[in-house]
Amino acid sequence: MDIQKIFCEELENIFTDFLKNEDEFLRWLSSKETEILFDKNAEPIFIEQQKKYEAVSNEVLAKTIDHTLLKPEATKEEILYLCNEAKQFNFASVCINPSYVELCAEELRSSSVKVCTVIGFPLGANAIKVKKNEAELAINTGAVEVDMVINIGRLKQHDYNYVLDDISGVAESAKEKSVLTKVIIETALLTNEEKIKACLIAKKAKAEFVKTSTGFSKGGATVLDVALMKFIVDGDMNVKASGGIRNRQDAISMLMNGAERIGTSSGVKIISSGD
């Protein structure tokens, strides 16, 4: 039995059905440049988001932020400072490279701030086994959330079974330890069709989040991408907006249009600007 062929056909059928049912929304969405308005199918989803975040308090906003430091030159002292900021502002997590997971887990042990790390970062081109092993090592040293980058080239060449195995290898290991998996699809490199398919594959792999960007590619999060991703996975997964979110207005716009988590290195600025 050709599992690869069967899954490829299944995904194409799911995609075709999705377009058939939601084509009007997608045409409308692709014609917009800035603000999300709503068609009748999308309206309930986004009205709920608007009610939730339109008058958001600093406390609630802080708990949506993954306080991030992923630059390659980050030092131990900078990572410790990041942890102290995260504790001070009560952010959802710190998001750091895997070599600092153990340090952050120890530093944040007595706080509510979670340790999040990245897998296959930033290119997503590592072998499946390498990503799985990297995730398991990170989890065993203290990570409770992992943000993994898909193999973007394999998605583009329609090797969907590979992408499914790639995500599943990390997600299954994470679930064994009650760890969340966020799947970075790098929206700036994808067409709308590829974004939809990436989200559908991540949903099939039973990850908890889809995430827009690494922040290391040619573009970051956009409101339209967040809205599209939310529309695809609503009810099954959450959306994390990441890449280029540097002020409070941008963060709240992402939340109101579908995100439940924000990845940013500007968390302190975002929260402080609401005082």
Task: Give the Cα separation of 140 and 152 in Å (integer).
Answer: 27
Report the alpha-carbon angle 219-224-226, nearest 5.
Answer: 80
| Close Cβ partners of 262 (under 8 Å, ≥ 6 residues apart) | 64, 65, 66, 240, 241, 242, 245, 251, 254, 255, 270
Known catalytic residue at 165: no
Question: Residues 182, 211, 225, 250: which is the catalytic one?
Answer: 211
Known catalytic residue at 39: no
Specify the DSSP element, H or E, that contains 15. Answer: helix 3-30
Q: Give the CA distances from residue 142 to residues 103, 114, 115, 139, 262, in Å, rounded to whole numbers and listed in that order.
A: 9, 9, 7, 5, 21
Known catalytic residue at 129: no
Residue with tokens 């993994």: 148
Question: Residues 114, 131, 132, 147: which is the catalytic one?
Answer: 147
| Close Cβ partners of 196 (under 8 Å, ≥ 6 residues apart) | 15, 18, 228, 232
Question: b/e map of 32-58 (b: 16 or more CB within 10 Å)?
Answer: eeeebebeeebeebbeebeeebeebeb
* Active-site annotation, residues: 147, 211, 240
